Amino acid sequence: MKIIYNDGHVDECPADDELHVIRHTAAHILAQAVKHLYPQAHFAYGPATEKGFHYDVDLGDVKLSDEDLKTIEKEMQAIVKQNLPIKPFALGREDAIKLMQERGEIYKVEHIGDLPEDATLTFYQQGDYIDMCVGPHLCYTKALKAFKLTALSGAYWKNDKNNKMLTRISGIAFRNQEELNEYLKMMEEAEKRDHRKIGKEMGLFMLCDEGPGFPFFLPKGMQLKNALIDYWRDIHYAADYVEVSTPMIMSRHLWETSGHWDHYKDNMYSTKIDDEDYCIKPMNCPGGVMVYRSQPHSYRDLPLRFAEFGTVYRYEQSGELHGLTRVRGFTQDDAHLFVTPDQIKEEFLKVMDIILYIFRALDFQNYEAQISLRDPKNKTKYIGSDENWHLAEQAIIDACAEKGLKATQVEGEAAFYGPKLDFMVRDAIGRKWQLGTIQVDYNLPERFDLTFTGADNQKHRPVMIHRAPFGSMERFVAVLLEHTAGNLPLWLIPTQCVVLPVSEKYNDYAHKVAAQLEEMDVRAEVDDRNEKVGRKIRDNEMKKIPYMVAVSYTHLRA
C-alpha cells in the first residue's frame, strides 16, 4: 500500500501502520463530505483511533440523526469514487493562520496559536478540502476501500467542559470489504452481548438520569457481586491478606501530599467540612498508606498485604459514560502491599497466581500481558533510584519468565512512580479488555516518608505494590456478562432454578419445591404469574436461568 508523507515523498506503508493511515485518511474524507453537505461546519480534531476514526465538528444549530450519517457516508463514497489525489504542502505559522482564517476554520486557528511561533505546519489537500495534518495519508481517495460511519456523540473542544460541545462523528475503516464485514459481524454479536441489555433482562442493575455514571445494583445484581466478593475473599484470606476499610472522604492535605491534588484535581469531587477542603477519594492508595503509617514496622513484618473493597469516585465527562464500563463511582478490589526491595519478585509471583487463578475460574482462557518499563532515554521524569528501578523491572521480567507468561515489554509506558504489569483478556468474540494490574510504587512511600526498621537496626524505605485482579467490580461484571452472553457459571448465577406451576392451583406446591431447593443450597424462585408455561419458559430463558422445573398434578400425587 503506497502512502504519501508530509514532505511529499511516496513509499510503501509499514504493515503495522496500515490501519492508522487508512483511518486517518477516512477522517479527512469524512470532513470533506460534511463540508459539502454543511458549508457552515467548523472542524476541530479528526484523529485515527485504535477502533476507527472520528471528527469533532461544530455544526452550529444543526443536530444530526442516524439518517444523516447515511447521507454523509454516501457523500464520502462519491469523494472516494472521484479518486482525488491527496497532496501535502507546508506553510509558516503566519501563512497557516491566514489560510485557516480564509477558510473559516476557527478551531484550527486556535490550535495553531497553541503551537510554537517558529513551527512549520503541514497540510494535506484533496480536491476542495484542505486540512492541517502531519500525515501520512493514502495517495488517492479511491485507495480507501472499506469504511462505515457508526455513531454520533458529543465532545468538548479540547476535552474541556468549559468549552463548546461539538458533534463527534465516528466511523470504522479497514483494508478491504472482507475485514469490514468481519468487524460488522462481530459488532452485531457484541450488540447481542451488550451488558446493559443483558443486565436489564436479568434484573442485575439499572442506570438512571438521577445518577448519571452511578449505577444501581438491584437484588440479583448484589447476589452476583457478593458471590464474586466472597470468592475473592476466600482466595485472599488463604494468601495471607488482611482486609481494611479506609474513609470515603479525607482532607485535601492528604491528597496534596500524595500528589493527586496537583495532577488529578479536575477529576476529583471535593467538599467543605468545618471550613476546610475535603476530597471524596478517587483512589484507595493514600488510605492504604495511612494504615501502614499508623504504627512502626520491622523488616520481620514485611510483606504486609492490606486488601480493600474501596468505592472511589471520579469525574468523567457525560459523553464518555458507558454502562458499567465507564462510570463515575465504582468499587475496586484493591490491595496495597508493602515489601522490601528484594521481596518484589516473590510478591509478583504470588499476585500473578491469584490473577491467573481467577481468569481460569471464570473461563478467561485467552489473555496476554504487558510489562511497562521506563523510558531509558528520559530517566529524569521517574522517581526512585536507578538501582531500585532496575531491580523492580528485572523482578517483573523474571517473574513472567518463571510463570511461562508471554509478556510484551514496552519502554516508556511505566508510570512515573514505578513499572507495572497489565493483563489483557480476549472475550468470546475476540475483543480485548484490560483486567488485572500490578504496579510498583516508589512515589507514595517517599512522599509519606514511610519506613521500616531493617536487620541493621536502621530505617529503610519500603516499596509499595498496588494490585487489583478484578480492577473495578462494575467493569468486571460488564466484561463477564459480555464474555458469557449472560450465561454465567452456575455458582455465580443469581437464580439457579425457577419453579413453574402449570396453573394457579399448583402455586403452593411450587413454593414448597422452591423451599426444598433452597435448603439444598440451590438458589430458587417461583414464577407464579398467571401465564401459560410456554410464556414463562421463554421469559425465564431471557433471564438466563439455567434450570426450570414445571410442577403439576403429577407432582402433587407424588
* DSSP 8-state assignment for residue 381: G
> What strands lie across the sheet with 2-4, from one edge to the other?
10-12, 2-4, 137-138
How does DSSP classify residue 58?
E
Q: Which phi-psi region, left, alpha or beta, contains residue 230 (left: φ > 0; alpha: ψ -120 to 50)?
A: alpha
Nearest-angstrom CA–CA distance, 466 and 400: 17
- Written as nine digits, the cell of 497 is 432454578
How far is C-alpha 172 from the geometric centre of its chain's CA atoms? 19
Give CA–CA dist 459/457, Å, rounded.
7
**H helix and E strand count, the chain:** 17, 28
Asked if residues 198 and 485 have their Cβ atoms less than 8 Å apart, the reply is yes
Residues 80 and 72: beta-carbon distance below 8 Å: no
252 grid coordinates = 485535601
Which amino acid, one-letter code, is at 191?
Answer: E
Reported in sequence order, the residue ranges of 345-431 that DSSP labels E, i.e. its strands, are 367-373, 407-411, 420-426
Closest by CA position to 33, among listed 64, 63, 77, 67: 77
Per DSSP, the three-state class of 415 is: strand
Q: Which residues pair with 330 in a beta bridge?
A: 312
Cell of 3: 502512502
Residues 6 or more apart whose CB falls under 8 angstroms from that of 466 comprise: 285, 334, 335, 336, 437, 438, 439, 441
Give me the count of residues in the chain. Answer: 558
Say which DSSP state 457 is in: S
What are the residue numbers of the active site?
Answer: 285, 314, 332, 334, 336, 420, 466
DSSP string, 266-311: GG-EEEEETTEEEEE-S-SHHHHHHHHHTS--BGGG-SEEEEEEEE
